[in-house]
Amino acid sequence: MALVPMRILLDAAKKGTYAVGAFNVNNMEQIQAIMAAAREMKSPVIIQASRGALKYSNLIYLKHLMLAAVEENPDIPVAMHLDHGNSLDTVKMAIGLGFTSVMIDGSLKEDSKTPTTFEENLDITRRVIDYARPLGVTVEAELGTLGGIEDGVGSGTVNLTDPDQAEEFVAKTNVDALAVAIGTSHGAYKFKEEPKLALGLVKEINRRLPDTALVMHGSSSVPQELVDIVNRYGGRMPNARGVPMTAIRSVIPWGVRKVNVDTDGRIAITGAIRKVFAESPEKFDPRDYLKPARDALAALVAGKMRELGAAGHAGEIEQKSLEDMKAFYRDRGLV
């Protein structure tokens, strides 16, 4: 299956009442691990890159690594997604690189730290949609802000999504997917105690916007067994705490169709590498520690795909291109 717009995956997830995992990448081993899991689970997948990842990989490298993943896995529907785009220029860059989906995080200013007003968010989101939609590219937006900071993104303050504003925002943008703030947080230290998430907000927003795919950011569960491996082999991750998978699964019936996972993958990779360094200090070939890291990430991602309900659904996805999506939006008067 060719590279597909993310909207195709979200619509299929709605039909099947599951969520698609969106996994952040920075290098070859991460992409290989994610695709190995997708093959094993026969799951659709969203591979996403932040601005930081694009900068780290010098843009063109990550593009071709993603395209290689698609070429090697013709039976797996894959969307290439920009995570937390901060401006129209960033969106244009990603689309120019071949991304089939973009997120504009208009909840924050271009510094990715300062919260915007509702009107500012609406303005930048509309401008991104005006540019991306005629090209068939899926657009995700965000309303409200998460706690924590990761990859330079975040205000550090939680502002829960207002259902009234969500309804108005979608009516004025017709955005494909909306990331909502319900108390989740970026990073490995999301909560000082057991999380108190506003899960009812998801239900209310879904009641008002049943046709809009909802997205959960800051949703890594920070598995304790992975944290223990990091700490056992010299790491220092005291009091790391994430979002329980039970909470994430509970809102999938309420319209959550995309769940972002980044921190969990970082922890799995770090633990595997630390273990090799501690147990085999004579090793110096990068392959000796990157392969276990890749395997650890693949196992993590496969588990996420099962728990989100996406496993087994790859063969059900209708193959559509950006050209097909152009017609889709035109026929519905959305361009």
CA distance from start to end of the chain: 26
Q: What is the CATH number of the domain that holds 222?
A: 3.20.20.70
pLDDT surpasses 70 at 189: no
Residue 104 lies in a domain: yes
Q: Which residues pair with 159 in a beta bridge?
A: 145
Distance CA 309, CA 315 (A): 14
Exposure of 205 in the CB half-sphere (CA atoms within 13 A)? 33
pTM listed for this prediction: 0.93
Mean pLDDT of 295-311: 98
pLDDT for position 157:
67
Mean pLDDT of 288-297: 98
Residue 334 lies in a domain: no
The string of pLDDT tens digits covering residues 27-79 is: 999 999 999 999 999 999 999 999 889 888 887 898 899 999 999 999 999 99
pLDDT surpasses 70 at 154: no
At a CB cut-off of 8 Å and minimum separation 6, what does 228 contact?
Answer: none
pLDDT for position 2:
75
pLDDT for position 186:
60
The string of pLDDT tens digits covering residues 70-106 is: 999 999 999 999 999 999 999 999 999 999 999 999 9
Q: How confident is the model at residue 198 (pLDDT cuts 50, 70, 90)?
A: confident
pLDDT for position 145:
77
**Cα distances (angstroms) measured from residue 286 to each of 84, 149, 160, 291, 310:** 31, 30, 43, 8, 33
The string of pLDDT tens digits covering residues 236-283 is: 998 888 888 999 999 999 999 999 999 999 999 999 999 999 999 999
Residue 270 lies in a domain: yes
Residue 185 lies in a domain: yes
Residue 123 lies in a domain: yes
Q: How confident is the model at residue 195 (pLDDT cuts 50, 70, 90)?
A: low
Q: Is 333 helix (H, G, I), strand (E, B) or coil?
A: coil
Mean pLDDT of 322-333: 95
pLDDT for position 155:
47
At a CB cut-off of 8 Å and minimum separation 6, what does 196 contact?
Answer: 183
The string of pLDDT tens digits covering residues 111-144 is: 878 889 999 999 999 999 999 999 999 999 999 8
pLDDT for position 241:
81
Q: Please confirm, yes or no, whether 105 is among the known catalytic residues.
A: no
Distance CA 104, CA 116 (A): 13
Backbone angles phi, psi at 61, to 5 degrees: -65, -50
Exposure of 270 in the CB half-sphere (CA atoms within 13 A)? 21
Mean pLDDT of 1-11: 91
Number of domains in the chain: 1
DSSP 147: B
Backbone angles phi, psi at 259, to 5 degrees: -130, 120
Q: Which residues pair with 177 in a beta bridge?
A: 140, 213
Residue 144 lies in a domain: yes
Distance CA 219, CA 179 (A): 11
pLDDT for position 221:
84
Among candidate residues 11, 83, 105, 176, the one labeled active-site is: 83
Q: Produce one character per residue of 53-79: b if its CB has 16 or more CB atoms within 10 Å, e if not.
A: bbeebeeeebbebbeebbeebeebbbb
Mean pLDDT score across all residues of the chain: 91
Mean pLDDT of 172-188: 85
**Cα distances (angstroms) measured from residue 181 to each of 118, 144, 174, 188, 205:** 14, 5, 19, 17, 11
Residue 1 lies in a domain: no
Q: What is the DSSP string of 211-278?
A: TSEEEE-S-----HHHHHHHHHTT---TT-B---HHHHHHHGGGTEEEEEE-HHHHHHHHHHHHHHHH
Higher local confidence (pLDDT), 229 or 55: 229
Backbone angles phi, psi at 220, to 5 degrees: -65, 140
∠ CA 64-66-67, nearest 5°, is 60
Residue 333 lies in a domain: no
Structural domain including 292 reads 6-327
Distance CA 322, CA 335 (A): 14
∠ CA 257-260-265, nearest 5°, is 140
